[in-house]
Structure 1
Amino acid sequence: MASYARRILSRMTMANPPSRNASTFAGTRILAARGRPSPPEVIEEEIPTSGISRPLAEVLRELSKRVPESVIKVRVEDGTEVKYVPWHIVNRIMNMQAPEWSGEVRSITYSADGKSVSVIYRVTLYGTDAEIYRESTGTASVDDTSYGDPVQKAEAMAFRRACARLGLGLHLYHEDLA
């Protein structure tokens, strides 16, 4: 299985050779989009394929590293700029830095007036010595379809926040305090 992953990775690397503007995040090379509208690609040099491979403290230390500016997006909500990392990039980083993670939607709840939906999401990390989970919520207006389906938007928000509680991208929540 490991050789299969390396062959696939080798093909990806040949198709997208590293550029001078590649940045490193915890041993992961994240390539800038080079003028293309598609998101940056994340390429791992060695992909763990099975088993719990590291102590939980080491996994948490890797997840707590700053996310490169190249993957951070900005959107405006109620006149305020909000920085975030798209859910698919968070998912990719989790797969590479904590391959033993799991996630699940714990509940989907519509408000009494039916104007908003809230999702509770749980992310669990497994290490050689322990496991830990964090939950968080995401809420979206049912009328707001600017970023897709409201339930999907609330789920993505809850997922990102649960990962932040484990350290991934947490610096984005307190940048202004520094």
Structure 2
Amino acid sequence: MKLAEILNNLAQPVPKQKISKKGIFKDKKKIDEIDYIAWYNLCDLLDERCGIDGWSWSIKDVNQISNRLTLTGVLTIYGDDKSLTREATGTEDVDCSQYGDPSSNSEAMALRRCCAKFGLGRDLWR
């Protein structure tokens, strides 16, 4: 599949069954909810829309700045004609009180942002 076709596939809306709700908290009190896509659902969508060997993900670097862990991820999409790479960061408090841990939460954020740069899930960011 050519890269232009893959990018068009990635820009299609995310199926509703792949979308979850996540609470927004302030002072440990839930104040709202937002839609989001879990990292494993993004991987499923990348497999479906790019092909199982049509993408790769890697971590470029990990840094701790004060009490925040910051991670840079790299997503590459491979077409038959060419490939395209996007990078994005994710960050989390080192003492996170959310689900997961600082590194996995940062990685998931970076993956979601990289996918959005390719059009995948961008409709949810709007």
**Structure with greater strand share of residues:** 2
Corresponding residue for 2:5? 58
Taking the aligned partners of 1:160 and 1:92, their CA distance within structure 2 comes to 13
1:124 aligns to 2:76 (yes or no): yes
Which blocks of at least 5 consecutive residues in structure 2 are unaligned? none
Instruction: Report deviation, 1:66.
Output: 0.3
- For the aligned residues, what is the CA RMSD? 1.2
Q: Which digits, 9 at most, give the CA deviation of each residue in 1:147-172, with x for residues without a partner?
A: 11111110011011101110110000
Q: Which of the pair has the greater relative contact order for Cα pairs under 8 Å at 6+ separation?
A: 2
Which blocks of at least 5 consecutive residues in structure 1 are unaligned? 1-53
Q: Which digits, 9 at most, give the CA deviation of each residue in 1:111-137, with x for residues without a partner?
A: 1x2x11011111001111111011111
Q: 1:70 aligns with which of 11, 17, 30?
A: 17
Taking the aligned partners of 2:70 and 2:59, their CA distance within structure 1 comes to 11
For residues 93-172 of structure 1, the aligned pairs below 5 Å read 93-99=45-51, 100-111=54-65, 113=66, 115-172=67-124
What's the TM-score, normalizing by structure 2?
0.88
Count how many residue pairs are aligned between Structure 1 and Structure 2.
Answer: 119
Q: 1:90 aligns with which of 16, 39, 42?
A: 42
What's the TM-score, normalizing by structure 1?
0.64
Q: Which has the larger radius of gyration?
A: 1
Taking the aligned partners of 1:109 and 1:151, their CA distance within structure 2 comes to 10
